[in-house]
Structure 1
Amino acid sequence: MSQASGIALRQARVRYGPLEALHGVTLVAPGPGLTVLLGRNGSGRTTALRALAGTLPLSGGAVVWDGADVTRLPVFERARRGLRLVPERRAVFGSLTVAENLELAGPSLAPALDAYPQLAPLLGRRAGTLSGGERRMLAVSRALLARARVLLVDEPAQGMSPAVAARTYELLGALDACVVVAEQRLPPALRGRAARTAYVHELSRGAVVFSGEAAERGFWSPDRRR
């Protein structure tokens, strides 16, 4: 039986000082499954992801996980219960080697190297010396080793080649977990027929302007310019 569970924001508000970044946002990410938070820079997609993780406090509303209000649950307790956040930056320990980063996430490196064979020759290198795409591979593979129930990833394929980006979304889509990713536009790997397997919340200026299957809005269309 699946151990995945859904997570949601209910009328969530987040403030950065005097500025409100989320204006009563309600969105649901079912589990197991893949949910995409879409939006341009400043839309609130990263803020929503961090609000779900608990790294940003809400000024109003609630975070609901598996039917329970976890708004006041500390970040470390959410992690203990199986929630993992992969931020856009500082997602790996730059002073540690690739192997050391992976060893902190799980007892065996094999699943990470099966996911990304490109990491094998890099095991002895310090993570801070990797390219952007290599760091994202390492960050995602660390998350895969953690066997999260809820996995939140900000721009998982940033800096990756198209082939590796497609592999990344294949891996994320196959997880028995609630997976939520934040992207500026729908990734090519989720276009066409695959768009029907992903649920989308599009944000603009701190509010949700669309919720539904990607196919409903035509996000994958080559004629759609975002």
Structure 2
Amino acid sequence: MISLRHARVRYGPLEALHGVSLTAPGPGLTVLLGRNGSGRTTALRALAGAVPLAGGAVVWDGADVTRMPAFERARRGLCLVPERRAVFGSLTVRENLELTGADHSLYPQLEPLLARRAGTLSGGEQRMVALCRALSAHARVVLVDEPAQGMAPAVAARTYALLSSLDACVVLAEQRLPPALRGRGTFVYELRRGRVVFGGEAAEWAGRARDGGAAPPGG
């Protein structure tokens, strides 16, 4: 389990998170929903230690890790796949995967691309390389920003199936809730302008969205 407790994050004079509290269970799948500027990516980076908190705390399995640097969180089993710059562009696909012993067979589409430099791949292909590394890392916490961005529908469906099968705490940042994740067992937090406005089961969120109801206020 990993949590943000009343977390505040500032970028210069601007506050991106206004006292956000959320908890992602493990093993389990949690989705942070929101438009650009909602704070979902910042919340993900705060969990990873990629941005410092101006207030509040990050708690992992009951321990306060707010002051623990990102590299130490990674050593302890936290894996972050950012939206951009998630691969080493100057290295080949094979070299990217060999760095972590990743299994390219998770995405058969990568087989003919192994000799190419990762920086020459399409956005969706780069996501596959980055996710191969994360899926093979045996991490305790996996944080992924826009996992299926640029992927064909069939590849995206495989991506969500792979992430859902992990025996880990998995947290995804998405603009919209993918249909593949609307079943039972997925927890959703919706963020707007740096605040949590909804927290609950994916089916409940989908029902509210379908009925046109507003998400309840919350923090």
Q: Does 1:203 align with 2:195?
A: no
Uncovered stretches (5+) of structure 1, i.e. residues with no partner: 1-5
After the TM superposition, which residues 171-210 of structure 1 pair with which residues of structure 2 at under 5 Å, given as runs? 171-191=162-182, 194=183, 196-210=184-198
> How far off is 1:188 after superposition?
2.3
> How far off is 1:197 after superposition?
1.9
8 Å contact from structure 2 (residues 20, 196) kept in 1: yes
Q: Does 1:139 align with 2:126?
A: no
Change (3 A) 1:44 1:36: same
Partner of 1:3: none
> How far off is 1:105 after superposition?
1.2
Partner of 2:14: 19
Partner of 1:154: 145
> How far off is 1:221 after superposition?
6.5
Partner of 1:123: 114
* AA at the equivalent of 2:20: V
Alignment counterpart, residue 98 of structure 1, candidates 77, 93, 104: 93
After the TM superposition, which residues 23-172 of structure 1 pair with which residues of structure 2 at under 5 Å, given as runs? 23-106=18-101, 109=102, 111-113=103-105, 115-172=106-163
8 Å contact from structure 1 (residues 214, 220) kept in 2: no
TM-score between both structures, scaled by the size of structure 1 = 0.91
TM-score between both structures, scaled by the size of structure 2 = 0.94
Distance 2:193 2:157 in 1: 29
Change (3 A) 1:220 1:125: farther
Q: How many percent of aligned residue pairs carry the same amino acid?
A: 78
What is the CA deviation profile of residues 171-192 of structure 1, one whole-angstrom value per residue up to 9, with x for unaligned ones? 000000000000001012223x
Change (3 A) 1:221 1:18: closer
SS of 1:218's equivalent in the other structure is helix
What is the CA deviation profile of residues 47-86 of structure 1, one whole-angstrom value per residue up to 9, with x for unaligned ones? 0000000010000000000110000001111000000100
* AA at the equivalent of 1:96: L
Distance 2:75 2:26 in 1: 18
What is the CA deviation profile of residues 11-53 of structure 1, one whole-angstrom value per residue up to 9, with x for unaligned ones? 0000011111100000000000110000000000000000000
Uncovered stretches (5+) of structure 2, i.e. residues with no partner: 213-219
Partner of 2:217: none
Q: Size of the alignment, in residue pairs?
A: 213
8 Å contact from structure 1 (residues 186, 220) kept in 2: no
Change (3 A) 1:85 1:220: farther
Q: CA RMSD in A?
A: 1.6
